[in-house]
Structure 1
Amino acid sequence: MDLKLERKNALILASSQGLGKAIAAELVKEGANVMLASRDEQKLAAVQKELSPLGAGKVGYVVADITNAEAIKSLVSQTALEFGGIDILINNAGGPPGGSFTDFNDEDWQQSFELNLLSFIRTIRESLPHLKKQGGKIVNIASSSIKEPIPGLILSNTFRTAIVGLSKTLASELAPDKILINTVGPGRIATDRIQHLDKMNADKLGVTQEKITEQSIGKIPLGRYGEPEEFAKFVTFLVSGANTYLTGQSYLVDGGLVKSI
């Protein structure tokens, strides 16, 4: 299948590690130009060096704090200037801290709102003039909590679900401009985030992290955590030329973990 990604220009947030990095790698392999973005320049430079030999496209990076409106404006403008446009936007952000409702104050809620929802809104808004030129693709990375709330992750449950409402509404508004937008939620994918959550739960229950991981895997029909590359391949399809009719949808890449219909 020809994914028609050669010379397409992609901006990927939170792409110095984890799922963002894995998506960047797949797009580079398909010949796309990829702009990496995160707050850690050292990691970004290392990832740029690692990914550049994988394909014919350019790999650049911009250091950006996506909770800052001006930083997002600069990130989008630099991407469009360097690549000559933006065809693909992948919104992504690190997960907010775990805890219950009584653990968080107004500042905690505000910080999570700015990181996990407002950053997506701002980046879409800034990217639209570029995406509208020839049509484009947007994927918002969320969580399996968009289908089933995860205990102990109330901040994530709240704002990840809001992303679905945003995406579903924009699917109709952006369709006349030939822009497709979808939401993808990872299940238990083997990233640093999942390692952190397993350790948090282990500490809370007074058991080993290995025990928590074993219990989590036992709930997954496929019997293992997913690999970042598996998640990335699905996102790559959604933003590719092979996807011409899927928009406004929410998908899980979770090995069958979530039982909701």
Structure 2
Amino acid sequence: MDLNLKNKNALVIASSQGLGKAVAAQLAKEGARVMITSRDEGKLQSVQTEFRENGIEVEYFRADITNPEDIKQLIKHTSETLGGIDILVNNAGGPPGGTFETFTDEDWEKAFQLNLLSYVRLIREALSDLKKNGGRIINIASSSIKQPIPGLLLSNTFRLGIVGMTKTLSEELAPYHILINTVAPGRIATDRVDYLDQHNADKQNVSKEEIVERAKSMIPLRRYGTPEEFANVVTFLASDASSYVTGSSILVDGGMVKAL
């Protein structure tokens, strides 16, 4: 199947590690021109070097997506460097775990800025480019959009906001031939999941290995997914092969979530 991604221009947010990095690599392998970004310029340089050693070319630009001015500069630089934006992959690290009584107004505000308002701002700034030839917006969320995860109240709250926005925008943006979807990872082997496993182990006073085995036992495929497996789904949604898919929420979780 020809995904027709050659020479398409893609911006992948939070792409110096984990899911974002895997998505950037897969898009570039399919021939897209890719801009990676994160708050850490050193990591971005390292990723670019690593990719080049493996025959993958990407550009990078440092930006903090909780800063609206950084977002404007990121979109401007990407458009000028790549020659426009055809694909926007929104991604952000998860907020800290905790329970309702442990969070302050500042905690809620930070999570809102990072995990929802950043997506709003990125879409707003990229729209003029995306409207020119149609395009793709993929919003990365979490399996908590279908089944809340205990101890991740902030994530559970704001990831659902992404779904509501995505579904609404699928109708508003359809006349411009822009498709927008949400992709929700389950237990994917990333640093974020490793952190959560360790957090749960410390909280329950058991080993991390025990937490991992418990988690795997709840997944029909009996394993964690790989970032590459997740990236394959995002790449499909970024491609011409997904031309009749918009407003959808797609789980990549090995069957873990039991909700319909």
TM-score by length of 1: 0.98
CA contact (8 A) 1:10 1:88 kept: yes
Q: Aligned partners of 1:32, 1:98: CA distance in 2, in Å?
A: 35
User: Which 4+ residue blocks in structure 1 deviate beyond 3 angstroms?
Assistant: 52-56
What whole-Å deviation, never above 9, does each CA across 1:33-72 have from its counterpart, x for those lacking one?
000000011110111122235567x411010000000000
Alpha carbons of structure 1 residues 224 and 43: separation in structure 2 relative to 1, 3 Å: same
Q: Aligned partners of 2:180, 2:15: CA distance in 1, in Å?
A: 19
Residue matched to 1:52: 52
Residue matched to 2:120: 121
Residue matched to 1:245: 244
Alpha carbons of structure 1 residues 53 and 244: separation in structure 2 relative to 1, 3 Å: farther
* Equivalent position amino acid for 1:71 in 2: D
Q: Aligned partners of 1:174, 1:164: CA distance in 2, in Å?
A: 15
Q: Aligned partners of 1:51, 1:164: CA distance in 2, in Å?
A: 32
Q: Aligned partners of 2:120, 2:225: CA distance in 1, in Å?
A: 28
Q: Give SS of 1:35's match.
A: strand
Map residues 105-184 of structure 1 onto 2, 5 A cutoff.
105-184=104-183
User: Unpaired segments of 5 or more residues in structure 1?
Assistant: none
Q: Give SS of 1:138's match.
A: strand
Question: Is residue 2:77 matched to residue 1:78?
Answer: yes
User: Unpaired segments of 5 or more residues in structure 2?
Assistant: none
Q: Aligned partners of 2:91, 2:74: CA distance in 1, in Å?
A: 14
* Equivalent position amino acid for 1:37 in 2: T
Q: Aligned partners of 1:100, 1:136: CA distance in 2, in Å?
A: 39
Q: Aligned partners of 1:19, 1:128: CA distance in 2, in Å?
A: 24
Residue matched to 1:12: 12
Q: Aligned partners of 1:9, 1:237: CA distance in 2, in Å?
A: 15
Residue matched to 1:100: 99
Q: Give SS of 2:240's match.
A: coil
Residue matched to 2:195: 196
CA contact (8 A) 1:28 1:51 kept: no
Alpha carbons of structure 1 residues 20 and 66: separation in structure 2 relative to 1, 3 Å: same
Q: Give SS of 1:242's match.
A: helix
Q: Aligned partners of 2:141, 2:52: CA distance in 1, in Å?
A: 27
Residue matched to 1:218: 217
Query: Identity, % of aligned pairs?
Result: 64
